[in-house]
Amino acid sequence: MILHSPVATSADSTAAAARELAEKTLAATGPLENVQLTFRNRTSLTALEAEEAFQVVEKELRSRGMRFAGESETTARITVTLSENPQDYLWIAEIQRDPGRDLVIVTQAKSADAPAARPAAKMDLRLTLTVEQNDPVLDIAYAQDELVVLDPGHLTLFRRQNDRWVPQKSAPIPALRNPPRDPRGRLRLSGETFQAWLPGFSCSGSVSPSLAVECEKKEVPWPLEQGPAQLEPGKNSFVAGNLPAFYSVAAAGDEAGRSWIFTLVDGRTMLVDDALKPAGTIAGWGSDIAGTNSACGTGRQILVSLPGDALEPGSVQAYEVIRRQAVAVTPPVVLPGPVTALWPLTSRGGAMVVSHGIKSGRYEAYELSIVCGP
């Protein structure tokens, strides 16, 4: 079923279009509850301008009795897309539920003095290969003209030669006993000294005047963006306070205040406020995320691994969180294989992502950065 309704231009044409869309959507859905609502902006409007329009739609639906729920409780999915042509904005609600699919379309005429549609300010993800090796890369860290790479059995120092990072020295670290299927590791450098976190071990050492590593067999909290968290024994997930078990966490913030995003072991992506109270869920994300700052958009983006099969190439996409709604701001970048690690590179404003190449069988570590477009 397709319902189409034009809305004439007026001072409150956006509100009128939102009301019309809400009425037509409810007429198509009937008395549905536990709806998962998603918004997509396909116009030249900025993410913030579009989000303001979407907030009106959500308010109208709520005022008419529609209830919204998380992934596990969903009985129907509604995707609202805002599109445009030179004359009109097009509001499209796609309603998916058993046994079928409905479309609701509302046309909002642009005002006569509205500026011509302009290309949206673009952002792109730049992917730069850093190192490639047979062993899993768990994390990397830069020290001036040197690079330190952590893998499950070694800590290796690289130096730049002819535009390539070339291994110079390597120091062994204790073998992991009963490691998780996908071991994790974290590396932090401060001047010429470093700390490393591995399942069951805590390591420290220096990179100058020579590479030296000392490890102690003990479980210590890992340094995550939201604060220290304990790696669960024999697993690659974290626990902290009263939070559900999670894989990764990143901060998001806008004029509505700072919030936190956790990718949970049960497959959900949970948004919480600064007091760690639930504030919603996000659909369509994988288990690895990393917060990063840039000169683009709102200045704060979340790099997200997208869901996929373990035998397929992985991909990463950048999002901004506007008024607690996730908005994709770059196209996804495709990697040679599934993503095995994704950590922020705080000192460089980007992130490190590792892919296990399907064809090569090798682990490739890339630096990811946000590039502002025209």
Tell me, what's the pLDDT at 94?
Answer: 83
**Strands 123-133 and 139-143: what pairing?**
unpaired
Who contacts 48 (Cβ-Cβ below 8 Å, separation ≥6)? 254, 298, 322
- Whether 350 and 367 have beta carbons less than 8 Å apart is answered as yes
Q: Does residue 4 sit in helix, strand or coil?
A: strand
- Whether 323 and 256 have beta carbons less than 8 Å apart is answered as yes
DSSP 348: G
Tell me, what's the pLDDT at 5?
Answer: 44
> CB-side exposure of 226: number of CA atoms within 13 Å?
29
Tell me, what's the pLDDT at 139?
Answer: 97
- Whether 353 and 368 have beta carbons less than 8 Å apart is answered as yes
CA dist., res. 250 & res. 259, Å (int): 9
How far is CA 158 from each of CA 207, 263, 363, rounded to the nearest angstrom?
10, 32, 16
In 3D, which of 229, 238, 235, 150 has the Cα closest to residue 195? Answer: 150
> CB-side exposure of 372: number of CA atoms within 13 Å?
9
Provide the whole-model pTM. Answer: 0.70
Q: Tell me the two tokens of residue 315.
A: 């991909």
> CB-side exposure of 104: number of CA atoms within 13 Å?
19
Tell me, what's the pLDDT at 374?
Answer: 65
Q: Which residue has the tokens 């490639």?
A: 132
H-only helix segments in 68-108: none
The class (CATH top level) of 2-109 is alpha beta
189-192 contacts at long range (C-beta below 8 A, 24 or more positions apart): 189/141, 189/142, 189/143, 189/148, 191/143, 192/143
User: Can you list the residues of the chain whose pLDDT is less than 70?
Assistant: 1-12, 30-33, 44, 46-48, 69-74, 86, 99, 111-121, 176-179, 254-257, 374
DSSP 241: T
Phi, then psi, of 17 in degrees rounded to 5: -65, -40
| Single-letter amino acid, residue 18 | A
Strand order in the sheet with 2-7: 2-7, 100-109, 88-97, 76-84, 35-41
- What is the tens place of the pLDDT at every residue in 305-338? 998 877 789 999 999 887 777 888 898 999 999 9
Domain boundaries, the chain: 2-109, 123-174+224-372
Other C-beta atoms closer than 10 Å to the C-beta of 68 total 17
